[in-house]
Amino acid sequence: MPIPSRHRGFLHPIPSEITPRAVYEERRALLRLMAAGAAGATLAAWAGREALAQAQQRPGRLAALPGAASAVAGAVTMEKHTSYQDASTYNNFYEFGTDKADPARNAHTLKPDPWSVEVEGLVKKPGKYAIEDLLRLSAQEERIYRLRCVEGWSMVIPWVGYSLAELIRRVEPLGSAKYVEFVTLADKARMPGVGSRVLDWPYVEGLRLDEALHPLALLAFGMYGEVLPNQNGAPVRLVVPWKYGFKSAKSIVKIRFTEKEPLTAWHKAAPREYGFYSNVNPQVDHPRWSQATERRIGEDGLFAKKRKTLMFNGYEAQVGQLYAGMDLRKFF
């Protein structure tokens, strides 16, 4: 694949052309075989399978992290969960490569322990939180959220964490704080993708303070009752279920409170394509494709029907008020 220009946006640009996973993985395996040539082929295929198998070994490999059932409105859906296998091997985490299978293959180098998160900017109580302290800051809950990617696919994942609001209240934002910026790790030594020019590293995301305070915005430490696998953003990530998946920053190292709207990594890379708000909105097309439907990972078959994408990803009753009176075509 040619090195992508940082202005071309996501590397799987036309959702209607996104290949079902099984077909796509088979094709990848085939390409690997072809690229490696006869002698290297077996080795390459073996190495790929070995790394994936290592990433998927469970249970027991990752520590248990159970959460009490959440009482937050909208935090649980009865929809079928995506399999752990799919959720942990079909990922976007460009610091480990742009292929969906790259994070599971490469993220074993991440080292999520020791880890700390720096809270800074417009707050009364700035400080550095060791991950152990952050984990204990509030009771862990299980939240079963749909997460929809801007590329046109979605998953249903049982996350474990607590509302980001719990942390925000403890650090006491000043009256002048209007936004929260999330900066994630960018370490060339641990993250092979950080050497590429796909994005201007580090990966940065942001929320308006009232969005960040919404109880559905989750600071997640685990999924499926275990601590997060590296490829899903260990040891701490955001999950903002009413926004396209790229707002859910992985492997956070800094949380900064600001007066100005943060410049996010994807907006910087392609401002016409990725706005600050990035609310899931079937009525606002991405400039290069429709956002009206989505494919649920795990319902792959070649002729699987697409689902209609719901306003705010189905969380309109809970979050619609945050955007009352805003022109969502302008603030996309």
**Binding region for ligand MTE (CB under 6 A) out of 64-72, 93-101, 138-146, 313-321:** 93-101
Minimum CB separation of residue 152 from ligand MTE in Å reads 11
**Binding region for ligand MTE (CB under 6 A) out of 42-50, 137-145, 245-253, 288-296:** 245-253
**Binding region for ligand MTE (CB under 6 A) out of 91-99, 106-114, 126-134, 213-221:** 91-99
CB nearer to ligand MTE: give 55 or 122: 55
Separation CA 197–CA 193 (nearest Å): 8
Minimum CB separation of residue 175 from ligand MTE in Å reads 30
What is the pairing mode between strands 293-296 and 307-308?
antiparallel
> Taking CB under 6 A as the rule, does residue 248 contact ligand MTE?
yes
Candidate residues 70, 89, 92, 318; the one interacting with ligand MTE per rule CB under 6 A: 92
> Taking CB under 6 A as the rule, does residue 250 contact ligand MTE?
yes
Q: Which residues contact 263 (CB under 8 A, 6 or more apart)?
A: 204
Residue 179: exposure state from Cβ atoms within 10 A (0-12, 13-18, ≥19): buried
What residues between 190 and 209 interact with ligand MTE by CB under 6 A?
203
Minimum CB separation of residue 238 from ligand MTE in Å reads 8
Beta strands in 3-124 (DSSP E): 68-69, 116-121
Give CA separation, 32 vs 40, 113, 257, in Å.
9, 33, 45
**Binding region for ligand MTE (CB under 6 A) out of 51-59, 72-80, 86-94, 138-146:** 86-94
Lookup result for tokens 């008020």: 321
H or E element, residue 295:
strand 293-296
H or E element, residue 148:
strand 141-148
> Taking CB under 6 A as the rule, does residue 246 contact ligand MTE?
yes
Rg over alpha carbons for the chain, rounded to the nearest Å, is: 19
Q: Return residues touching ligand MTE (CB under 6 A).
A: 91-95, 147, 149, 184, 203, 232, 245-246, 248-251
